[in-house]
Structure 1
Amino acid sequence: MPEKASITSSELATLWLTYQEKTMILRILEYFIDKADDEKAREIMTSLYRQLEVYVGKIVEIFEQECAVIPVGYTPEDVNKHVPKLFDNGFDIMFVRLIKEISMGMHALNLTMTFREDINILMADLTALSQKYYRICTQYLLEKGLLVRTPYVPMPKTVEFVKNYDYFGGLPINPFNQKRTLNTLEVAHIQKGIEANLTGLQMILGFAQCANDSEVKKFFHEGAELAKGIVKELSELMIQESLPAPQSSGGNATQSTVAPFSDKLMMYCTSLFCSFSLGSTSLGTAFSLRNDLPVKMTIFTKDVFEYAHKGAKIMVKNGWMEEPPQMVNHKQ
């Protein structure tokens, strides 16, 4: 056996995807660090930036060792720090927290698709890094009063088992069928959906008011309406249970209309959020046992998928979608 085996197709794929995501995050962090008003927030983002730079360098090194072309990803040309603030009131850390949540899922999955020890360790380290900064950002937002905890519930004193099929009820076909109260698993996923869409809504509103291309601007406005609709529907589920629905207490878009990022970067970031939404909604569907919830979640999934597909077409039309490495076409 050679000292270091060649990388496999799945390892190449995970490295390529990680490079795309990390170079995008670096560009966004460069802008947020420059515009940060809060010193602690700047310290968190600066520390994260320095560590991510190291890992991007490691990925480049592996590509070079394998004589593979370095992906374009996102470069300093995709960010302009010398423009007014596009977001205010803690949005920078809200964004970093959500992007680290996305990264945790990505790296954990990537870890299962790698075989070579150095790449496996790389993904494991990135997973740990994402977990670390997710915790840091969570504590920061809690201290600033910018993050709402999930509702509290009395601790169970006995173990209960489902006694009949009415536990799964909830569809409107039988008006006399009473819906049971939501369980804690369902509330957790509903609240997570509201929280993620509130942050995504503020992000996409900011993107909409500064995008240069008219078609891109329209696309972002459509995304804002989609996020609003999801937040409204999920919030109604909480209100029906007499539970407080989380609301955004920060992270507002300013009135600036000057883009700090290229349309290409903003489209990719939105695409990444859509992918996260699809995965998160699917997970919520799997763990929701009241029949009306999977039906609602499935509609969200359909709407988000169609929106993401429309965005992909815009990226292709403008030459913004970098193509992942392809397998050999033996027919040719």
Structure 2
Amino acid sequence: METTNTSNQMSNTTVNPAEYLNLEEKQDIRLTSAELANLWSGFMSSSLKECVAKYLLAQVQDEEISGVLEYALHIARQHGQTISAIYQKEQHPLPRGFTDEDVNINAPRLFTDQFILSYMEFMAEIRINGYATALTMTARTDIRKYFTECLASAAELYNKTASVILAKGLYLRAPQIPIPDRVDFAKKRSFMTGFLGERRPLTSLEISHIFSRAKTNFLRKALFTGFAQVAKSEQVRDYMFRGRDIAIKQIEVLSSLLIKNGLPMPATWDSGVLQSTEAPFSDKLKLHNVRIFNAMEIGNLGKAISVGIRHDVAVTFTRLTAEVAKYSEDGVNILIDNAWLEEPPQAADPDALKRKMH
């Protein structure tokens, strides 16, 4: 059995906000729109993750999982402080983000420890994807240094989480397939055929994407169920139940693809949701958390479509993408209707400039 060390010592990948303010001190290099966007998104997500980690840390029972949460809370706070320092130097207004008003750490336990561990695994995956994208869109030296450190800490969080999952025997492994005995090349265009005629077996790429999307939907189902259970607004409650139903449907679709090809579907835990009806988070935070999940899922489905897969599998992924995209849009509309959607930095409005000139 694999073991893990979840001591409370923090990694040397964490950052000192002051380090980033001196790298280009002698140069007056303005932030680009991409840098502004990623710093803003980073601040918003870090403040959300800090609220969530504080609640989960107050409720978790397992010491090893507690160690993972302590590290997650530490880096969320550190990243928020660093962006605040950069904003102050750039004379940029500080976003509101999420505060203590959005979390009640004294609310009863809503999720099991096993769910918390799986949630942290997925949030670490989101961090890695987000920071990798931000780094490749960034030019300024100090901001690149910051996102490089963020990416390193996100990878460490993922590894800490995965080690605990493995040590507890909870890791959901993708199906195993035979190791090929030779290199082969597709000889017919029927390699892509999936609707008519003889279908080839699923490739390892197809299996990995189908399995991962099914695994994520088990997590989404539990998250939506818990959030619906403690939602204060009927509108938000209905939205969460709808998300749960979409996740259940997508699990069935993805699992059937595996079963039809003689492969096992992902095993899963129990519901992961306890009986509490007292909200640990504001409806605003819950909707934003779901929005982050939706964005990640749309991106992952897009990657799955892009790998050159069997037509029937590609069509399935395309349909699931459209379903999640529509659900995500409806969630954004609820945020707007309730004045919960904080606007990111925007380009100058040319019409407004014209009006000022007249």
TM over 0.5: yes
Q: Is the 8 A contact 1:197 1:227 kept in 2?
A: yes
Q: Which residue of 2 aligns with 1:330?
A: 350
Letter in 2 for 1:79: V
Structure 1-normalised TM-score? Answer: 0.96
Deviation at 1:247, TM superposition (A): 2.5
Partner Cα separation in structure 2 for residue 288 and residue 247 of structure 1: 27
Structure 2-normalised TM-score? Answer: 0.89
Deviation sequence 1:177-208 (CA, Å, 0-9, x none): 12111000000111110111111111110000
Letter in 2 for 1:71: P
Q: Which residue of 2 aligns with 1:65?
A: 89
- Kindly indicate whether residue 101 of structure 2 is the aligned counterpart of residue 81 of structure 1: no
Q: Is the 8 A contact 2:37 2:344 kept in 1?
A: yes
Q: Is the 8 A contact 1:83 1:260 kept in 2?
A: yes
Q: Which residue of 2 aligns with 1:42?
A: 66
Q: Is the 8 A contact 1:91 1:250 kept in 2?
A: no
2:287 corresponds to which of 252, 264, 267? 267
- Kindly indicate whether residue 119 of structure 2 is the aligned counterpart of residue 95 of structure 1: yes
1:63/1:265 Cα in 2 relative to 1: closer, same or farther (>3 Å)?
same
Deviation sequence 1:25-46 (CA, Å, 0-9, x none): 1100000100010011111111
Residue ranges of structure 2 left out of the alignment (5+ in a row): 1-23, 353-358
Q: Which residue of 1 aligns with 2:50?
A: 26
Percentage of identical aligned residues: 30
Q: Which residue of 2 aligns with 1:255?
A: 275
Deviation sequence 1:235-275 (CA, Å, 0-9, x none): 01111111111022256011111110000000000011111
Deviation at 1:141, TM superposition (A): 1.2
Partner Cα separation in structure 2 for residue 52 and residue 237 of structure 1: 38
Partner Cα separation in structure 2 for residue 153 and residue 227 of structure 1: 27
Deviation at 1:115, TM superposition (A): 1.1
Give 1:12-23 correspondences, 5 Å limit. Answer: 12-23=36-47
- Kindly indicate whether residue 79 of structure 2 is the aligned counterpart of residue 55 of structure 1: yes
Partner Cα separation in structure 1 for residue 110 and residue 273 of structure 2: 6
Q: Which residue of 2 aligns with 1:132?
A: 156
Deviation at 1:83, TM superposition (A): 1.2
Give 1:215-230 correspondences, 5 Å limit. Answer: 215-230=235-250
Q: Is the 8 A contact 1:211 1:263 kept in 2?
A: yes
Partner Cα separation in structure 1 for residue 193 and residue 317 of structure 2: 16
Letter in 2 for 1:148: L
SS at match of 1:72: coil
Partner Cα separation in structure 2 for residue 205 and residue 259 of structure 1: 13
Q: Which residue of 2 aligns with 1:212?
A: 232
Partner Cα separation in structure 2 for residue 263 and residue 33 of structure 1: 20
- Kindly indicate whether residue 174 of structure 2 is the aligned counterpart of residue 147 of structure 1: no
Residue ranges of structure 1 left out of the alignment (5+ in a row): none
Deviation sequence 1:80-114 (CA, Å, 0-9, x none): 01111000141112111101111111111111111
Partner Cα separation in structure 1 for residue 204 and residue 277 of structure 2: 42
Q: Is the 8 A contact 1:208 1:221 kept in 2?
A: yes
Deviation at 1:330, TM superposition (A): 2.2
Letter in 2 for 1:280: N
Q: Is the 8 A contact 2:135 2:147 kept in 1?
A: yes
Q: Is the 8 A contact 2:43 2:79 kept in 1?
A: no
Partner Cα separation in structure 1 for residue 132 and residue 65 of structure 2: 26
Q: Is the 8 A contact 1:274 1:308 kept in 2?
A: yes
SS at match of 2:351: coil
Runs of 4+, deviation exceeding 2 Å: 1-4
Letter in 2 for 1:121: K
Partner Cα separation in structure 2 for residue 9 and residue 221 of structure 1: 36
Partner Cα separation in structure 2 for residue 167 and residue 9 of structure 1: 43
Q: Is the 8 A contact 1:29 1:45 kept in 2?
A: yes
Partner Cα separation in structure 1 for residue 307 and residue 124 of structure 2: 23
- Kindly indicate whether residue 302 of structure 2 is the aligned counterpart of residue 282 of structure 1: yes
- Kindly indicate whether residue 318 of structure 2 is the aligned counterpart of residue 298 of structure 1: yes
- Kindly indicate whether residue 183 of structure 2 is the aligned counterpart of residue 159 of structure 1: yes
Q: Is the 8 A contact 1:142 1:148 kept in 2?
A: no
Which range is displaced more, 93-102 or 210-219?
93-102
Please report the RMSD computed on the Cα atoms of aligned residues, expressed in angstroms. Answer: 1.3
